[in-house]
Amino acid sequence: MASIKKGIGMSEFRQKCIGKKSLVGSFAAIPHAVAVEVMAQSGLDFLCIDWEHAQISRDTIENMIRAADLHRVPAMVRVPGHQPEAIAAALDSGAQGVLVPRISTAAQALAAVRACRYPPQGERGVGPGRAAGYGYRIPEYLAEANARTVVAVQVETAEGLANIEAIAAVDGVDVIFVGPGDLSVSIDAIGARGADKLNAAIRTIVGAAIAHDKTAGIFCASPQPVGQWSAVGASFFILASDTMFLGAGAAANHAAARAELERDERR
């Protein structure tokens, strides 16, 4: 295990991330604090609010983070692109980190890092948001924010795969996260016919992350692949999402109820 780089005010969540402690979280896509509270009480290590793909407004993100904070479950946000304004909005709302999608070059990775860090390490603007106590604790927040914030970049394109060594070498990136769905489309490795090609690409990304002392992460739609990718070095997992769990749970229980009805009718 790599040694944990201590920093002033480093959060326990970031320590676990960069210390390569196995973490299993999930996407929060339902735009309501109740859904976050239900997920937070499930035992997950963290939640990642999916601002990229879910219909979530900025003010709702803040309430979702509040709900996670209530249960002491770290909340990060997958932002809707590379824009510094979106990254700042998520962090100002109190997120403990961001997941920046579609990182395909080292320059994009570096821009994500700089958007997350205050000067001199970066270019994040100072504001009186929730994270800084609405202005009442700006000095304290500035002193610790750079060390506490998790910067995760999502590699999910053919270009990103080609540039993975340069991306993984960028200082300040904590987690290299694989998006298998978009990656499979980008490299033409969809479905069973492309499984070997996709798996090889994922192993390349995970291997590069580890070689550059970065934490490797991946999205898993079900629990089974977690062991597979842990065996090659991944330690940061986002397992399905609240909407996926809701649908799967409803389908499984409906099927079980129907089976009980059929059993009763046969009696």
**C-beta separation of 52 from 29 below 8 A:** no
Q: Is 4 left (phi over 0), alpha (psi -120 to 50) or beta?
A: beta
Please pick, among 53, 82, 212, 254, the residue that the annotation labels catalytic. Answer: 53
- For 155, phi then psi, to 5°, come to -100, 120
89-128: buried (b, 16+ CB within 10 Å) or exposed (e) per residue?
Answer: bbbbbbbbbbbbbbbbbbebbbbbbbbbbbeeebebeeee
32 in active site: no
166-197: buried (b, 16+ CB within 10 Å) or exposed (e) per residue?
Answer: bbbebebbbbbbbbbebbbebbebeeeeeeee
Report how far residue 265's alpha carbon sits from residue 267's, in angstroms, rounded to the nearest whole number: 5
Tokens of 73: 């479950």
Tokens of 65: 């983070």
Amino acid at site 108:
Q
**Catalytic positions, written as ranges:** 53
